[in-house]
Amino acid sequence: MARTLDKIGEDIRGLSDSERDVLLRDLIANLDIDPELNLESVWLEAAVRRYAELQSGVAETSPADVVLEKARDRVRGAG
């Protein structure tokens, strides 16, 4: 791949909200997803696995405000 993911991410962060929305919808529409796949069962399986990880102490938790601030920073290109 000629362009790095960092460069592509930088370009994406430079788009307007509406341009990012169009890009995201296009990317999702082009995912190679089996039409027979039951997404509800996939989400349920993931939720059950994550819950077990939390209960066993394997997964680490973070306060929501910390997670949201990190996400905002990444969207702004600061992290």
| Per-residue pLDDT tens over the stretch 61-70 | 999 999 999 9
So what's the pLDDT on residue 65? 95
What would the pLDDT profile of 20-46 be if each residue is shown by its tens digit? 999 988 988 888 777 777 888 888 999
Cα–Cα distance measured from residue 18 to residue 34, given in angstroms and rounded to the nearest whole number: 28
Cα four-point dihedral sign 35, 38, 39, 45:
negative
Place of tokens 């039951």: 38
* Whole-prediction pTM: 0.42
* Average pLDDT, rounded, for the chain: 88
Predicted pLDDT of residue 48:
96
Q: Are 54 and 61 in contact (CB under 8 A)?
A: yes
